Amino acid sequence: MELVNRVSQHFLDSIAVKQAAVNTLSVPIATSAERMVAALMADGKILACGNGGSAADAQHFAAEMLGRFEKERPGLAAIAITTDSSALTAIANDYDYELVFSKQVRALGQPGDVLLAISTSGNSANVVEAIHAAHERQMTVIALTGRDGGKIAEILSGEDILLNVDTQRTARIQETHILVIHCLCDAIDYILLGGE
Ligand SMILES: O=C(CO)[C@@H](O)[C@H](O)[C@H](O)[C@H](O)COP(=O)(O)O
Ligand SMILES: [Zn+2]
């Protein structure tokens, strides 16, 4: 029973974090989707990055853009820069792990593109470097963070959008991040295709 209560508590805690985010995140998520669509309609693309579970989230987002979310549509230009083990190991080995995303952003990013930067602490150095690189490339940054937003919240420009999940526990932040990602996918499809 103790174990069952523990499991139940995870559900209740996750629901509470998401409930609190309804008011803080709905407007900036909608704005983020509009910015992403504007970039895609101008022949731009979305680059996505993060570490660990957030790397998985970056890949999850890119897969739903490139393939599909819930509706049939042409693929949309998104690349998770967390997946090429040759590029990642070469950059980490020859330079520094801090540069694994920023080198790719500088190589692939164009003005008007979007960087989806994901970090639960807001402090991962390679994500921070990717944001600096995106600014150099005149890209918009949409940052998915947690806790107090960390360093990422401090370095965003006025044009960027911070989607911060204001809670301490990494798992709860990640669970809300994946909800945000699905909201973005749904909003992008709604803007492009209309519907219910
Ligand atoms: O998924 C988890 C924990 O739930 C881990 O893999 C977690 O993503 C990793 O520790 C990351 O390195 C944490 O980085 P960040 O979210 O603070 O940027
Ligand atoms: Zn996790």
Q: What pLDDT, on a 0 to 100 scale, did the predictor assign at position 196? A: 73
Residue 176 CB less than 6 A away from ligand 1: no
For residue 80, report the distance from its CA to the centre of ligand 2, in Å.
18
Known binding residue 93? Answer is yes
Residue 145 CB less than 6 A away from ligand 1: no
Residue 53 CB less than 6 A away from ligand 1: yes
Q: What pLDDT, on a 0 to 100 scale, did the predictor assign at position 177? A: 98
Q: pTM for the whole thing?
A: 0.98
Residue 119 CB less than 6 A away from ligand 1: yes
Using a CB cutoff of 5 Å, list residues around ligand 2, an ion. 53
Known binding residue 98? Answer is no
All residue ranges of the chain with pLDDT < 70 are none
Residue nearest to atom 9 of ligand 1 (CA): 52
- The pLDDT tens digits of the residues spanning 98-112 come to 999 999 999 999 999
Q: What pLDDT, on a 0 to 100 scale, did the predictor assign at position 79? A: 98
Q: What pLDDT, on a 0 to 100 scale, did the predictor assign at position 106? A: 98
User: Which of the listed residues 10, 17, 49, 51 should we mutate to test ligand 1's pocket, taking the one with most ligand atoms within 8 A of CB?
Assistant: 51
The total number of residues shown for the chain amounts to 196
Identify the helix (H) or strand (E) that includes residue 48. Answer: strand 46-49
Classified as helix, coil or strand, 52 is coil
Residue 86: other Cβ atoms inside 10 A: 7
Residue 52 CB less than 6 A away from ligand 1: yes
Closest ligand by atom to 128 CA:
1
ipTM of the complex: 0.98
Q: CATH homologous superfamily of domain 2-193? A: Glucose-6-phosphate isomerase like protein; domain 1 (3.40.50.10490)
Q: What pLDDT, on a 0 to 100 scale, did the predictor assign at position 195? A: 86
> Nearest Cα to 146, choosing from 121, 183, 125?
121
Q: What pLDDT, on a 0 to 100 scale, did the predictor assign at position 174? A: 98
DSSP code string of 123-177: --HHHHHHHHHHHHTT-EEEEEEETT-HHHHHH--TTSEEEEE--S-HHHHHHHH
127 contacts 152 by C-beta, under 8 angstroms? yes
195 contacts 37 by C-beta, under 8 angstroms? no
Q: What pLDDT, on a 0 to 100 scale, did the predictor assign at position 53? A: 98
Q: How far does Cα 34 stand from its chain's mean position?
A: 15
Amino acid at 155: I
Distant-in-sequence, close-in-space partners of 5: CB < 8 Å, separation ≥ 6: none
